[in-house]
Amino acid sequence: MSTYDVSDTRRPRRGGTRLLVALLLAALLSGCSDGTRAPSAGSSSPPTSPRSTASDSSSDSPPRPMSPHRLDKLNGFLEKVEVVDRVSPGFELRDVDYTSPTDAVAHFLDARIARVDLGSIIATTDDNWAHSARIRISWDLADLVDYLPLGKGAVAIKAQDQFPRRSYPPFVLYPDGQTKPLRVAAPRTLETDHEVLGAGVDSLFGLMTELPAGLWAADVDAAEIFPTTAPLSPSGYVRQHLPGRGDTLMNVLDHRRVGGGVWRFETSTNAGRSWERTDVRLPLGRKRTADAVTHAVGPGRRQALAMSHAWEDLPLYMWELWWTDDEEDFRRVRLPWDRLRFGGMAFASDGALLLAEVEGSDHYCDQLTCNRPGRVWRLASGDSTPELLPKAPKLFGPFWAVGIRFSGGLIVARTGMRTIAISKDGRTWSQVTPGRRDVTQR
């Protein structure tokens, strides 16, 4: 039930995992935290006693302490960050990322034309928005805010200002509102209390090729991220919470990286300590390369690939769908559309594939925000005819965000400028408003 865009061209996110890891490592190389907790966001009080220090860290080789100058810089930044008790009406939900059915992070941005300095809001929760911590970073302070969900309701945040050029050390925001400086620790074995962040981090290091590649993880309580000693391919995307597959991890390398008409992935059933590689035949032939490749993993041995065009200021247009239920061969699915305005896909718990259609005009949108409705189709198998999903949530949102996707063991559907619907099985949906206490059963 995992789904993502391999090419990552669909959603122009200002906050994102891959970009943030590069920024974090670039910042942290100049000096890492000694574990001292930064003041709570919005507080002007001095740093309090640390939760963990370098001397009691679980790392075999603790990171270098953060320089006093950088620690002062972070503390000064956090003193100007505002704690908010709600998300103001001027903010739009840019993205929401679940790391489990209860742990999530949401990013809000002021998208109004009027030049009102609302800035960015990051909200995080460990009880599916029954309660959450929220901070606002004004544009005067930082006009680029990126984030990395760490799990357990914690989020790493990296802020910088482009004009003038200012970059602040990264920190971790916890769901109780506490903050700590983030640090990069030495490689270690992945333990059960660690949170997997993914693979492919090495591709973001640029010229810093001496840094470890492969699988990265987080010690959330210690506010540390680190490369693991897992024998994993240096590039790929690690997926978790796969339906019907227990604690299996899957590292996916798409056909353009592998070549030879195959889709390659690796799986681990022992927390990443060993991996088994599988090549699935993908007979694309001499077709033009898709602008975007969306991948979904389902129960048993089901997987699906959607090949799409991505034109500027328009939704994706899916022109081919491929399906495998044995992980030996992909076959093309015959659909009733020549091309589908595509809003993502995810497998339901019964093995059916859910496809999101973005409705509205095919014409170019010259407005600042182009909002569109959408609907959800159900494909019972690779040989069946799509049918509208009964009791599906009504989709709505910006053209680049309206649709469905898998996140943290849930199917997440965009239903409004501030709302989503979530489902564990693809049949029963709960309406959710990230950032505030509002969870109702459909």
Give the pLDDT score at 286: 61
Selected residue with higher pLDDT from 440 and 335: 335
Give the pLDDT score at 42: 35
Neighbours of 19 (CB within 10 A): 18
Mean residue pLDDT across the chain:
79
Residues 6+ apart with CB under 8 A from 59: 185, 186, 188, 224, 226
Distance of alpha carbon 68 from alpha carbon 382, whole angstroms: 59
Distance of alpha carbon 322 from alpha carbon 295, whole angstroms: 10
Whether 358 and 307 have beta carbons less than 8 Å apart is answered as no
Is the predicted pLDDT of residue 112 greater than 80, yes or no?
no
Mean pLDDT of 95-120: 84
- Take residue 272 and report the two structure tokens written for it: 């990443």
Half-sphere exposure of 377 (CA within 13 A, CB side): 20
Distance of alpha carbon 286 from alpha carbon 43, whole angstroms: 60
**Helix, strand, or coil (residue 78):** helix
Give the pLDDT score at 49: 31
Domain chopping of the chain, boundaries: 1-54+68-184, 283-442
**Residues 36-63: pLDDT tens digits?**
333 443 333 333 333 333 333 344 455 5
**Residues 5-31: pLDDT tens digits?**
543 332 333 444 444 444 444 444 444
Residue 255's pLDDT band, with cuts at 50, 70 and 90, is low
Concatenated DSSP letters of 31-72: ----SPPPPPTT--SPP---SS-GGG-SSSSPPPPPPHHHHH
Mean pLDDT of 293-320: 91
**Residues 187-230: pLDDT tens digits?**
888 888 899 886 544 433 433 445 566 788 899 999 998 888 87
Lowest-confidence region among 67-71, 141-145, 226-230, 365-369 = 365-369
Peptide bond into 164 cis (omega under 30): yes
Give the pLDDT score at 28: 47
Is the predicted pLDDT of residue 314 greater than 90, yes or no?
no
Nearest to 412 by CA among 99, 149, 173: 99
Neighbours of 51 (CB within 10 A): 15
Is the predicted pLDDT of residue 2 greater than 50, yes or no?
no
